[in-house]
Structure formats: C-alpha cells, structure tokens
Amino acid sequence: MRVAIVGATGAVGHELMQVLEKSSLKFDELLLFASPRSAGSKLTFKGQELTVQVTPEGAIDADVILASAGGGVSKEKAPAWVAGGAVVIDNSSAFRYDPEVPLVVPEVNGEAALHHQGIIANPNCTTAVAVLAVAPIHREYGVKRMIVSTYQATSGAGQKGMDELLTQTHMVLHGKQAGHEVFSHPIPFNVIPHIDAFQDNGYTKEEMKVAWETRKIIGDEEMKISCTAVRIPTLRTHSEAITLELERPATPDAVRELLSRSAGVEVRDDPEARMYPMPLTASGKYDVEVGRIRASLVFDGGIDLFVAGDQLLKGAALNAVQIAEYLQEHGALKEEQRA
C-alpha cells in the first residue's frame, strides 16, 4: 500500500505529511513528488528521511495520490495517474465542478467518495470550513438562503502568501513602504475584498466557489448563497460570518445542541467568558470552531453564527487524508501489507 504526495514541498504538502503521521490510514510507503526546482530535497516522515522526486510525466506507482501541486498539474497528469491504477484525491479546483467527480467532506457526504471513477475532489478551503457548520443545520431545519462574509488568512495563497505578510509587515514596522506581489494590494494592516478573479456578475471566483461547492456537497441546488470573500493579515485559519434563512424555525439553543454533537465541530460559544471562534484558538485544530450562535434579526427563525477553521488542515490536508481513511474504512482501499 503506497501513498504519494504530489506538491510535497508546498504549504499543504507539509501539512499532509504531518496529518499522515497521526492518521489511521494504514500504508507501507510514502512517496514524495514536486517540481524540478524542489527535487532532491529531503523531508522527514516518522523519523525517516525521504527524498523528493520530480513529478513524472506518466503514471505514479502508488495506490493513493494526494495531489496539491495546483490545478494545471492535476488537469494534465491526473488522468495518467488514474490509468496507472491510483485513486487521486485532488486539492485543486481542476475537477470540483465535473459532475462525474465527487466533491467530498467526509463528515457531510462521505458516501459520495465511494462512487468515484478514479478522482475525488477536495473542496475549496472556505467551503470546507463552512459546510461543517451549515450541513447539520440544513439537515435539521433546511437552509433556504445563506449569506457569508469571509476573513481569509494569507496561507490561502500558499507559502508565498504567508511569506509576503511577514516580510512586508517587517518593512512597515521599520518605516518602509510595503510592496505586494502575491496580493492585489499590500496586505500588512489592511483587508482586501478581492480573492481570485472577478466574474461577469461582479463576484469573485472565490465567492462563487463557496456557492457552487456548498450546493454540490450538501446536495441542494436550490439553496441561495451569497458570499463576500476578504483577505486579512493573518497567517492561517479562515473565519466566516454566516447568516442562514431556514425553512423551519430554529432557536440558538437548539442549534448549539445540534452542533455540539456534529462531527468535525467544536462549539465555542460563551460570550460572557469571552469564548468564541478565533484564528488564535482554531489554528492547528482538526475541528472547526463554531460560536456567536444567535437568532437572526433579519430572517424570522433564522440563525447567525461565526466559524473559524484551519484551512491548511480541514480546508486542505486533513480533509484529503480523511477521504483516504474513509475509503479504506469502507473497503475501497487496500491496507498495508506489513504488520
């Protein structure tokens, strides 16, 4: 049983290795691949030094490929990986909107992974964080409309995004003008309501991803969703303010109790104790924090809430590994050969 990571030297690649170290996934060998620039570098996994190889043009001799090298690489190479016998769990947007490719968050629609045809898509990080809170509410009360405002960390743009925040903040603190390459404007001490390309309808592609992917994962194409996505000067963890109009009225206490027994969710909701979701507390956690649960002042019987989730984990690496674990637990992947 071989597992391969493509894009092993990137921010998500590093997180994949750390998650695999703690995972229940049973496998014999881990293979690491990246671009020619990173080939030959050494990474440590479970105390063993592994050499990063150049991602090949053809098949990879692995049972599971965790791909996080960008949509272009996945689009070009994943069909060959599948033809070689691998199951590809892809972290890019290359296949998310293909009706033949399941888009999976295991706590919400894990069974969809069992119907794959070689490729399973990992959702956008913002979507993954949101649906863990929204899906249980939808199942219980029915969500008619969902309005989201996001507060997205620089790691959503990869390691280079985090590096730009740190280097340019240093510049500002030393009396120099901040520059920008990764983001559309300087990020230190600023918020930027622009993530990904603007679309013809005035929304950005990031905002539309939340709408498209939430509907696909939850399985309700009638849900009305509007999102405003904003980049903020933090390193990791995306936060989101979510307003829900419901088909059947809910109370904050009932939603709090529902989410407290929902997989992948940690309810942090005690304003008097100053306990609520924050990047400071959610970073590094597997569960998504949910709090500030209150009755909507706009929609009768509706709910407002706030979530914070580590998008390098549940929004990327953790979710991908959990998909592989789900497949193995349901007999859709072989297990390790060595005891």
Q: Are 120 and 90 in contact (CB under 8 A)?
A: yes
* Known active-site residue 227: no
Burial 279-290 (b: 16+ CB within 10 A, else e): beebbebebbbb
Say if residues 229 and 150 touch (Cβ distance below 8 Å). Answer: yes
CA distance 33 to 279: 31
Cα angle, residue 242 at apex, residues 313 and 303 outer, rounded to 5°: 125
Question: Which one of the listed residues 14, 116, 125, 138 is annotated catalytic?
Answer: 125
User: For residue 138, which of 229, 238, 259, 241 has the smallest C-alpha distance?
Assistant: 259
Q: Which amino acid is at 335?
A: E
Helix (H, G, I), strand (E, B) or coil at 65: strand
Residue 125 annotated to the active site? yes
Which of 14, 116, 138, 238 is catalytic? The answer is 238
**Angle between helical axes of 11-22 and 318-329 (0-180°, round to 10):** 40
Q: Which of 316, 327, 331, 338 is nearest to 124 (CA)?
A: 316
Catalytic residues: 125, 238
